Structure 1
Amino acid sequence: MNSINRNFFAYLDEMNIVTILLPYSYHHGLSSLFFMAADAAKTSLEILDKTEIEDYNKYICQFEGEFSFGKPYWIFDEHGGKTELQIGAVIRTEQFDQQFYYEGDDLGVTFPTGQTCFKLWAPTATGVKLKLRSPANGYSEIIKMKREHNGVWSISLNRDLEYYQYSFLVLVNQEWRDAVDPYAKAVTPNGEQGVIVKLERTDRPRPNLPPFENPVDAIIYETHIRDFTIHQGSGVKHKGLYLGAGELNTKGKDGEPTGLTYVKDLGVTHLEFLPFNDFAGVDELNPSKQYNWGYNPLHFNAPEGSYATDPSNPYSRINELKKLIDQIHSMGLRVIMDVVFNHVYIREQSSFEKIVPGYYFRHNEIGLPSNGTGVGNDVASERRMVRKFILDSVVFWLEEYHIDGFRFDLMGILDVTTMNEVKKTCDSLADGVLIIGEGWNLNTPLPAAQKATIANQAKIPQIGQFNDKFRDTIKGSTFNLFDKGYALGNEHLVDAAMEVLTGSIGFTKKGTRLFNQPSQSVNYVECHDNHTLWDKLEGCYSDMGQSIREKYHRLATGIVLLSQGIPFLHSGQEFFRTKHGDGNSYRSLDTVNQLDWERKMTFKANVEYIQGLIQIRQKFSCFRMRTSEEIRSHTQELILPSPMIGCLYQFSGQEVILVINPSSQTQPMTLPEGEWGILANHQFAGLTAKEFKKAPEYILEPVSLNVLLKK
């Protein structure tokens, strides 16, 4: 860092406005004139306002003419004092955003006509250098880059630089900073340097997948690459790695399928992985010593190294991740990538902040970084080059890795325009790309009308949102372990349960519409966050036997699978996954987080039951109606004594009844006319009716979900 003897401070806060802070210790904080100099040219500053602020006098000054970004400027006062003009809040102005928007698709490293070309967007920098390190001898060289239009700096070299490490030295506000390329596609262990790779060497053909017509046809299964196979009973060779998650025909101790083959047999359509872009929290050279979910993003376009067989080889993680995705596709399944564009791990150390300080993050009314995410920074997605980065990254994963969908972590931090652009861009490149996100309303300085929240669902109609109303109605509050939902026997939530069962579209008279269409509702009772459903049940029903907890669990999961909308399962939910009471296991041990494949053996009957419900959902389109109009016109609410709820669906030439009894008592119900085959009850679920019942009476077992098909 350059050492500057500053008498006072000066900041460019708007295109023609300079803010000057004179400390009282310097001429009592008083000056009657200021001027600005760059090269030999001097410009007078007109003082518009003077106020006292703590130990300073604050002067707001204006100048005529155009400010030339990329040059160093100095401010002088009447006493002969001097300070450099630092880039201040100007970077958060609309004029700055418009002037420096760069449309090109060649930021980072590209290879036009045999050259290696480097481009970096750094509009406020007064100098940028490329730092290269040879893979052969570790020799470093530093090469000056040239400033071009829209704040882009570039250099083209007539050399093959494959495997070279690189970074950018950026001079902003008289300080040199060393930053990894934000567009880096490969990195060294722990993301310390970018690495130049030729991705065409890793190309794999895009597979043909079975058609996917509508989001409600999806059944999402969420897992974590390490959790998925690290258990000693997983039957997987490459435990905890990309290659392990992609191994086929693996078997557990019972000789039955585990891993990817098991997931295929279960019947889900989409496998959603917690973040696998490069993240902090696990030493990639000693991955077994630490654990992390992956919500500490370092580099958005490079795969995480702790899941690779050789983190030191930049191609290892790329090829192995691509092979994993290929294997999933070979099973006819799709891949959803969990993306974390709402924050970075540590703002001050991020490439974004080093290269264009203050631009990529939101600041509050007093100029401090905002913290709606709770981790110290909020990404300013509404700024044009931030939005561009997000879109460029999504396109990169879609095209280079053949990703089929994206789950946006803390989507409510992001803005509506960005999310609509994401969906529009994905749709222009591939069919059936599924976009879902967490639309929580978080305290970030973005106008409420612009946030990508559930409240603004009508503004982002093509994007699915995690339905916390569904979660808390069916399971009970996520934040109060002992609060019971409808499926856990809470009889006060009957109306709310009917509402979420029918897609949260305002079907019931008492229901307030959460979404306009069922495809916007991601229905879940459990995910990687918070307590598992099993652990919550152990809290709520610690004084009862295990069999009743199993029934409540089965009922809640069954409601997820047979409600209108998009069903979402947490891996292992079907065999009562436990984290041994840990409600926030983001960096807990493998013994807490691992998918325990022996539970799959222990609770085989429940796995088969869930498998049967999945088959029912996929066979009968009445459980995945595509519009709210279809739901309203083809669903008849059955009149049943509380707390039972039921629906008669007359859809696609079939009549199907879904009826739920969450109480601890058997309950009689009157069947409509005709003969009804039982596809699901408290014991079994599948496509073949185990028995038939004729009107009028049918007995509902305690804590049961029932599906009946008219013969």
Structure 2
Amino acid sequence: MYRLNYEQFDRDNQYIGNDLGAVMKEGKTVFKTWSPLATGVYLNLYLDGEGKSRLESLPMERLDHGVWYVEILRDLDGVFYTYTFEFDHKTRHETIDIYAKACGVNGNVGAVVNFKTTNPEGWDKVKKPKCRNACDAVVYECHVRDFSADSSSGVAPEHRGKYVAFADKGTKYQGVNTCIEHLKELGITHVHLLPVEDYATVDESKPWLNQYNWGYDPKNFNCLEGSYSTDPYDPKCRIREFKQLVMALHENGIGVVMDVVYNHTYYTEESAFERSFPYYYHRIRNDGSFSNGSGCGNETASNHMMMRKFMIDSLRFWATEYKIDGFRFDLMALHDIETVNIIRDELNKIDPQILMYGEGWTGGESPLPADRLAYKWNSYQFGRVGLFNDNIRDSIKGGTFNPYDKGFVSGNRNAASTLRRGIAGSVPHYQINDAKEACWAFEPTQAVNYCEAHDNNTLWDKLCISAKNDSEGVRIKMDKLAAAIVILSQGMPFIQLGQDFLRSKPRILKEGEAPNDVNIYSHDSYNAPDYTNSIKWNRKLEYKEVFEYYKALIRLRKGSPLFRMYTKEDVNAHLHFMHNDDWNCVSWKLEKDGECYVIALNPYYENRGFGLPEGSFYLRLDESGKMNKQPVSGSFVCPPLSAVVYKRIKNI
């Protein structure tokens, strides 16, 4: 292997141009790639996307800073290509271009594409939704296949599990809205898509196998996954159909967030990065082995200038070509803080309203010092970037990795302190002195509040395990209480597709496996079949009252800026926790410019009384999501296992 002083190597070889990859202009096509230690690089042109019909192989010319170049004096739109890299004048590896923006089936061969020919009709006329700051967003996490794979989705059979399902209008199940009609009805502001970049573990050439993966096994970072297209052999098809998805959501005022997985590559030695330039794009331990901070076999080296550049160039491409409204970074703590801040700066140049958030943890130990990595505990060093709030998550429903562990909503009487931190946006608050580990955010815009995501048990399944001795009716109350905490706390609320109608992930037991409380549910459904993962839209009909409650919470949040304060100064000035004799009865007041709300949480199985500030109030939101205009003053009763919201009546 190469023993490099990477900092010195980057100073000598860093390339700053924005033209790596295949670029068409003025009737010619220019190919550029970066590999400073290669002794030769060759461009291979193909007629097909499987690399079977080679047209020619051309030597590339070496330029400054390790760039290799060849220019073809014709428009190669629709032609496929790879590179062959030679090292030490003997070892050769053929691979797809890491900068390829389109590819053939299964992503082994790049494609030259004129992107202007991929725009759906009206693409240039549709504007991106506005989002002043992260606290104005209500994010809904979706997997493309889960969204519409089930027949209850109402989507045309040929569109089920595909990008274009998001553009199918008027979809219903027995009169209940599904798919995009559901998104509009619920009132969310952004759809967060699990990875749609080309990933490795689904064979796009065999759609009849109904293979499944979440997509956290990245292969080509600038190409779209083909299994979600109606024709994975046509590079333009997946591009056009994904643009139809984006366009349909934008037409309805909904932004699109991409889940990006730059922290590792699915393949290591066989990855396009390693074949392009061995031991550069991944972090290497002192013994020469690949470090594995991702838990997936390797981790990328964001602190190396050309890996950093690759990430920035890739994000710029997605944000501009596809009009993406936000990015969620998988295992973001594997990226160095400097890179994370530079990415935020670059996204701001495109559109300051682009959301940026990620996981503030790793999947293993990294050789880069912990104080340089974007861990949650280093959050003040990258305060413009959001982080998943695992503190509020675990305080609401109990520890994620112990299915029997209880949280605030299911009977834990020691969770209220951490919960209060989350309610205040995880920023320092003048009334709170304990649970200091849960006070980590630079601003409330940094706190991504959630209690359910694709990982681990769904909230409903967790409650079915940890509160198994309670009735379904009681567990529904717990679920709705959890939703109220997530949606009415300061910060950015994040919910999973189907959470609003008690999504469950039933597991298929192995032959001879006896069922128990835990194993009948899937807590890690990354490659489970549609039986487990697909959304069963009939549950929305069955649990319509739960959906209506989530919908009412979102409407309330969007209706007042007091639920969406975006500075810690505003939170301290306008959010006041109210005194209750029982610490577990949590209530707080939001007040500014004559507007005043009181929110109360009752985690007990019986009614509890709460006090009101001076003045008359009306019940703005009860345990069913409804309001009652009858004036109330002095005090009120909160029903068991529920949240209620009162609003002051003006001029009284």
TM-score bucket of the superposed structures, by smaller chain: over 0.9
Aligned length: 620
AA in 2 matched with 1:183: Y
Paired residue type of 2:99? Y
1:388-431 CA-partner distances (Å, limit 9, x unpaired): 00000000000100101000000000111111111111111124
- 1:481-520 correspondence to structure 2 within 5 Å: 481-507=403-429, 508-512=432-436, 513-520=439-446
1:134 offset after TM fit, Å? 2.8
Match of 1:692 in 2: 630
Report deviation, 1:161. Answer: 2.1
Deviations 1:585-609 (A, max 9, x none): 0000001001110000001111111
Alpha-carbon shift at residue 195 of structure 1 (Å): 1.3
Query: Could you tell me which amino acid in structure 2 is paired with residue 473 of structure 1?
Result: S
Show the counterpart of 1:101. 14
Deviates more, 1:663-672 or 1:576-585: 663-672
RMSD, matched Cα: 1.4
2:490 aligns with one of 564, 573, 589:
564
Q: Name the CA distance, whole Å, in 1 between partners of 2:125 and 2:275.
A: 37
Hey, what does 1:198 align to over in structure 2?
A: 114
Alignment match, 1:298: 219
Aligned to 2:295, what secondary structure does the other structure show?
coil
Residue aligned with 1:306, SS: helix
Structure 2: distance between partners of 1:96 and 1:652: 58
Alignment of 1:68-217 (within 5 A): 88-90=2-4, 92-135=5-48, 138-173=53-88, 174-203=90-119, 204-205=123-124, 207-217=126-136
Which residue of structure 2 aligns with residue 423 of structure 1? 344
CA distance in 2, matches of 1:514, 1:478: 20
The AA in structure 1 aligned to 2:118 is T
- Residue 94 of structure 1: CA displacement? 1.2
What is the CA distance between 1:113 and its match in structure 2?
2.7
Match of 1:73 in 2: none
1:676 and 2:617 are equivalent in the alignment: yes
8 Å contact from structure 1 (residues 135, 163) kept in 2: no
- Of residues 508, 525, 539 in structure 2, which corresponds to 1:585? 525
**2:395 alignment partner AA:** T
Q: Is the 8 A contact 2:334 2:374 kept in 1?
A: yes
Deviation at 1:690, TM superposition (A): 1.6
Contact 2:95 2:108 (8 Å CA) reproduced: no
Contact 2:129–2:250 (CA<8 Å) still a contact in 1?
A: no
Out of 614, 621, 634, which is 2:554 matched to? Answer: 614
Distance 2:470 2:500 in 1: 21
| Separation (CA, whole Å) in 1 of partners of 2:278 and 2:48 | 31
1:605 pairs with 2:556: no
Q: Which residue number corresponds to residue 453 of structure 2?
A: 527
Q: Distance in 2 between matches of 1:550 and 1:519?
A: 29
Task: Look up the match of 2:181.
Answer: 261
What does 1:649-660 correspond to in 2, within 5 Å? 649-660=590-601
1:226–1:240: 8 Å Cα contact kept in structure 2? yes
Q: What is the match of residue 228 of structure 1?
A: 147
Contact 1:206–1:402 under 8 Å retained in 2: no
Residue in structure 1 matched with residue 583 of structure 2 by the alignment: 642
Question: 1:210–1:386: structure 2 CA closer, same or farther, 3 Å change rule?
Answer: closer
Structure 1 partner of 2:509: none
1:209-264, CA deviations, whole angstroms, 9 ceiling, x for partnerless residues? 44321110000000000000011110011110011122122111x22211012101
Q: TM-score, normalised by structure 1?
A: 0.86
CA distance in 1, matches of 2:571, 2:79: 58
Which one of 444, 462, 470 corresponds to residue 544 of structure 1?
A: 470
Cα deviation, residue 162, structure 1: 2.2
| Equivalent of 2:232 in 290, 299, 311 | 311
**Correspondences of 1:385-424 after superposition (within 5 Å):** 385-424=306-345
The whole-number CA distance in structure 1 between the counterparts of 2:246 and 2:45 is 32
Deviations, residues 658-707 of structure 1 (Å, cap 9, x unaligned):
1100111211223223221111222234xxx3243423331111101010
Deviation, 1:208, is 2.2
Letter in 2 for 1:554: K
Distance (Å, rounded) in 2 between the aligned partners of 1:398 and 1:571 = 23
- Secondary structure of the corresponding residue to residue 526 of structure 1: coil
Q: Which deviations, in whole Å up to 9, do the C-alpha atoms of 1:141-188 show, x marking residues without a partner? A: 111111110001111011232222211111114310001000111111
Q: One-letter code of the match for 1:127?
A: G
Match of 1:623 in 2: 563
Q: Is residue 621–residue 651 contact of structure 1 (8 Å, CA) maintained in 2?
A: no
- The aligned counterpart of 2:167 is 246
Letter in 2 for 1:365: N
How far does the alpha carbon of each residue in 1:107-127 deviate from its partner, in whole angstroms, 9 at most, with x for none?
110123321111110111001
Structure 1: unaligned runs, 5 residues or longer: 1-86
Displacement of 1:445 in angstroms is 1.0
Q: 2 CA distance for matches of 1:591 and 1:666? A: 40
Instruction: Provide the rounded CA distance (Å) in 2 between the counterparts of 1:559 and 1:206.
Output: 38
Unaligned residue ranges in structure 2 (runs of 5+) = 507-520
Regions of 4+ moved over 4 Å: none
Contact conserved, 1:216 with 1:624, CA < 8 A, in 2?
yes
How far apart in 2 are the matches of 1:445 and 1:486? Answer: 37
Offset, 1:352: 0.4
| Cα offset, 1:139, TM superposition | 4.1
2:204 to 284, 299, 310: 284
Rounded to whole Å, the distance in 1 between the matches of 2:596 and 2:208 is 53
Structure 2 counterpart SS, 1:436: strand
Match of 2:608? 667
Partner residue, 1:453 = 375
Distance 1:626 1:495 in 2: 22
Counterpart CA distance in 2 for 1:166 and 1:209 is 33
1:55 maps to none
Correspondence for 2:365: 443
Contact 1:223–1:271 under 8 Å retained in 2: yes
CA distance in 2, matches of 1:266, 1:103: 44
Aligned residue number for residue 326 of structure 1: 247
Matched, 1:274 2:194: yes
In 2, are the aligned partners of 1:297 and 1:340 still within 8 Å (CA)? yes
Q: Distance in 2 between matches of 1:504 and 1:467?
A: 8
| Partners of 2:435 and 2:570 in 1: CA distance | 17
**Equivalent residues of 2:282, 2:301 under 8 A apart:** yes
Q: Distance in 1 between matches of 2:530 and 2:566?
A: 40
Q: What displacement does 1:449 show?
A: 1.6
